[in-house]
Amino acid sequence: MTNRVVRKRVALSALAAVLGGVPSAAAQHANAAAARQNGRIGFIDSVNGGWVTANPDGSDRQVVSVTGSGLPAGAQPLSLKYSPDGTKAVVGFGGLTGNYWLVDAAGHVIRQLPDALGGLGVLSWSPDGTKLYASSPLGTHDPQSTAPPLPNRVVVLDLSRAGAGWTELPGQPAGCDDSQPTAAPDGRVVFVVDCPTSPTSVTRSLYELDPGTATARRLPIGGTDPQFSPDGGRLSVVVGQAGATGYGVAILTMPLSQSEASWLPPVVANVGGLEGDDDVTAWSPDGSRLLVRSTRPGSGADYAMDYSIHVVDARPGGADHVVAEENVVPSRGLFSPSWQSSGAAAPGTRVVDRIGGADRVDTAIAASQWSYDTAGTGGRQANVAVLSRADQFADALAGNALAAQKRGPLLLTGKTGLDPRVAAELKRTLAPNATVYVLGGTAALDPSIDEAVRKLGFHARRLAGQTRFGTAVEIAKEITPDGPHTVMVATGADFPDALAAGPAAAQDLAGGVVVLSDGAALPPETRAYLDAIDPHKTDVYAVGGQGVAALASGMPGWHGAVTPLAGSDRYATATAVAHSKLFGLDGPIPMAGVATGATWPDALSGGALLGVQHGPLLLTAPTGLTADEVGLLTSSHLTGLAVFGGKVAVPESDVAQAGDAAFGAGKWSEVVDRKAPALPAASLF
């Protein structure tokens, strides 16, 4: 049962600017958040056990029993909120006082949280896990009094201070009812404000309090259940839908421009009805997806409601997967979704995946089968596919960023027709009517390929310019029609730098793209695209020595606003990209990939899949990995490693070098061409 509507794209404001190569404070917090991995999901099922956990696809459903002294006798939890690191949770049991408890992830009581006079509303964590936010009237109301009830105020509890109590957040508007706070990594707090306009009506708005300021400011949008993404760059909010029944989840890029006040926000999923101040959404720890609780009138018993929990892709055009459903009377269904961050990987033997085939076409297909389950079977589902020419890299250089951003494989085919092996893989991995992108003009890939794609039941969309540079620009526009949040400029005269840039660009979920220089110069197509960008509002990276030179000479006014990622050769440049803030500035990363630096096909198809798995692409030299690459693999706390290409492309000695560096000698095993295995980043879609 899915209540989805068509997604719409919201114009993106910049989250952070790179000035003189130094990340802003917001960007630094975003880096820390980006290192988190998705674990299990949790929610309250008031019919079947209370606190329930499951895998993100809904499998392995388990009930968590809350145990410890002082708990309400026989009570089941009514609310749940995991801590940002996934090791703890706050559970609520209802009532006005004594209702919230801090427990570990297995349900064992750590301590009871202090009361606030008048009770507490829905709680949220600070991203560093040191504070809790809630709402409370901070007083009690005499039911015999003719005075109006005390308004709620946003309150804060500092968990790091022994004996601390709830204190009022400063800067809230006077005379209004404030609730549902959410905090960003840099300390910003957004909350819901209901201000009376008459004795019987109120106006609902969102307010934002910046750290260090005395007064919160009103945002140009209303709604309920605001939730900051883990990096603080986006805000989900439940809003009414013009011309539609019920409520929907909108995703906005922060900071929110006043010019957006009249916009209909982009709705990514239907919520249906609300029951009070519902806590109905939760971000995945990696910021790529949302848990959404939806309701709608059900069938059967009088007044029954259909409750469902959905995993929803936060990217435009993404998937919606139902993981739990109930048909019960109102207030007795599914509530309080929360997504747990995964902890340290279990000890034991690690796996190095070698992904390769008889030729480059087979290797790309093997990579697709490693990353995506068969359509309609659950697990990791591809949304799209990208087709590129198998014997030339010109039009494909920006294609791995497209495939990663849109979540689908990049496959290779011959110039004159659709390879039968590729046709079979498209049928396996895509749902009917899915989009298949065809890269390059008809001189690169024959029009018969489009027709063959359509005959398979898919929509063929060709992205082409007059040159490879124009094609890269068309790809960039397809990824972010309203302008990019991150731009990576790499030479299109050769392949290595652009292929390393693709997985990195895909880490910016607000829209990362790769455009091409012509060696050390900017071609007209790229220059025109960059002219429309403000480098102080868009993160700009120059990848490789030629990319650095092209931006320095072609955009001299951008001096100080461009971050260079370049080394002495292609291997050092790939390492520089892997060390960048896009992969968390040397924080833990779940997955990395290795491909030969001598040719491009394996790196192209592999990079498209690494982008989804949040891992960088490293290139092997004829003599193996460089010392810097070995150091990166050793220090990154990997839980997965993929090698793209057969034994001729990447010799066993290189695999051994990479595996020993990542996991330690004797602590890993090599497996060839696994089909959709469980992966560290656990990407479903």
Euclidean distance between CA atoms 312 and 310, whole angstroms: 6
Over residues 398-422, the mean pLDDT reads: 94
Mean predicted lDDT score pLDDT of the chain: 84
Count Cβ atoms within 10 A of the Cβ of residue 54 and give its class: 0-12 exposed, 13-18 middle, 19 or more buried.
middle
For the stretch 619-653, pLDDT in tens is 999 999 999 999 999 988 888 899 999 889 999 99
Per-residue pLDDT band at 585 (split at 50, 70, 90): low
Euclidean distance between CA atoms 501 and 162, whole angstroms: 47
User: Which residue in the block uniquely carries the two structure tokens 């009088």?
Assistant: 302
Q: Helix 496-505 and helix 601-612: axis angle, to 10°?
A: 10
Q: What is the pLDDT of residue 6?
A: 25
Tally of CA atoms within 13 A in the half-sphere of 551 that contains its CB = 27
Q: What is the pLDDT of residue 518?
A: 96
Pairing mode, strands 305-313 and 109-112 = unpaired
Q: What is the pLDDT of residue 97?
A: 52
Least confident of 21-30, 131-140, 490-499, 668-677: 21-30
Is the confidence at residue 432, as pLDDT, over 90?
yes
Is the confidence at residue 323, as pLDDT, over 90?
no
Give the three-state DSSP class for 640: strand
Q: What is the pLDDT of residue 412?
A: 96
Omega within 30 of 0 (cis) for the link into 255: yes
Q: What is the pLDDT of residue 642?
A: 94
Euclidean distance between CA atoms 360 and 343, whole angstroms: 36
Of residues 517, 512, 515, the one with CA closest to residue 486: 512
Euclidean distance between CA atoms 124 and 122, whole angstroms: 7
Choose between 71 and 181: higher pLDDT: 181
Percent of the chain with pLDDT strictly greater than 70: 84
Q: What are phi and psi of 463, to 5 degrees?
A: -115, 115
Pairing mode, strands 384-389 and 435-439 = parallel
Pairing mode, strands 435-439 and 459-463 = parallel
Give me the DSSP letters along 269-338: EEEE---SS---EEE-TTSSEEEEEEEEE-SSSTT-EEEEEEEEESSTT--EEEEEEEEESTTSSEEEEE
Per-residue pLDDT band at 140 (split at 50, 70, 90): low
Q: What are phi and psi of 40, to 5 degrees?
A: -80, 160
Per-residue pLDDT band at 682 (split at 50, 70, 90): very low
CB 450 within 8 A of CB 460: yes
Q: What is the pLDDT of residue 457?
A: 97
Over residues 489-518, the mean pLDDT reads: 93
Q: Please report, in angstroms and rounded to a whole number, the separation of the first and last CA atoms in the chain.
A: 18
Per-residue pLDDT band at 302 (split at 50, 70, 90): low
Euclidean distance between CA atoms 427 and 430, whole angstroms: 6
Euclidean distance between CA atoms 441 and 451, whole angstroms: 14
Is the confidence at residue 260, as pLDDT, over 70?
no
Euclidean distance between CA atoms 439 and 441, whole angstroms: 7
> Which residues make Cβ contacts (< 8 Å) with residue 447, sequence separation at least 6?
none
Q: What is the pLDDT of residue 106?
A: 82
Q: What is the pLDDT of residue 404?
A: 92
Euclidean distance between CA atoms 33 and 319, whole angstroms: 23
CA 52, 55, 57, 60 torsion: positive or negative?
Answer: negative
Domains of the chain: 39-341 (2.120.10.30), 350-672 (no CATH)
Euclidean distance between CA atoms 307 and 330, whole angstroms: 9
| Total residues belonging to the chain | 685
In DSSP terms, 542 is beta-bridged to 489, 564
Is the confidence at residue 303, as pLDDT, over 70?
no
Choose between 291 and 510: higher pLDDT: 291
Q: What is the pLDDT of residue 299?
A: 62
- pTM of the full structure: 0.57
For the stretch 192-242, pLDDT in tens is 999 998 888 889 999 999 988 999 999 988 889 999 999 898 999 988 765
What are the tokens at 268?
């990514």
In DSSP terms, 350 is beta-bridged to 668
Per-residue pLDDT band at 270 (split at 50, 70, 90): confident
Q: Helix 544-554 and helix 496-505: axis angle, to 10°?
A: 80
CA 257, 261, 264, 269 torsion: positive or negative?
Answer: positive
Euclidean distance between CA atoms 59 and 113, whole angstroms: 32
Of residues 394, 392, 383, 550, the one with CA closest to residue 464: 394
What are the tokens at 107?
């349900």
Q: Please give the torsion angle defined by the CA atoms of residues 268, 89, 113 and 34, in that order, rounded to the nearest 10 degrees.
A: -70
Of residues 83, 125, 123, the one with CA closest to residue 105: 83
Q: Please give the torsion angle defined by the CA atoms of residues 647, 650, 651 and 657, in that order, rounded to the nearest 10 degrees.
A: -140
CB atoms inside a 10 Å sphere around CB 69: 6
Percent of the chain with pLDDT strictly greater than 90: 50
Of residues 152, 121, 123, the one with CA closest to residue 138: 152
Is the confidence at residue 248, as pLDDT, over 50?
yes
Q: What is the pLDDT of residue 169?
A: 94
Euclidean distance between CA atoms 43 and 80, whole angstroms: 7
CB 434 within 8 A of CB 458: yes
> Which residues make Cβ contacts (< 8 Å) with residue 203, sequence separation at least 6?
194, 195, 197, 222
For the stretch 18-42, pLDDT in tens is 222 323 333 333 333 334 678 889 9
Alpha carbon separation from 676 to 16, 304, 420, 671 (Å, rounded): 35, 39, 21, 13
Q: What is the pLDDT of residue 144?
A: 60
Euclidean distance between CA atoms 578 and 631, whole angstroms: 12
Per-residue pLDDT band at 331 (split at 50, 70, 90): low
Task: Kindly state the DSSP code that residue 621 receives in the 8-state scheme.
Answer: B
Detail the DSSP E strand segments found in 537-681. Answer: 539-543, 562-565, 591-596, 617-620, 640-644, 668-672
Over residues 459-477, the mean pLDDT reads: 97
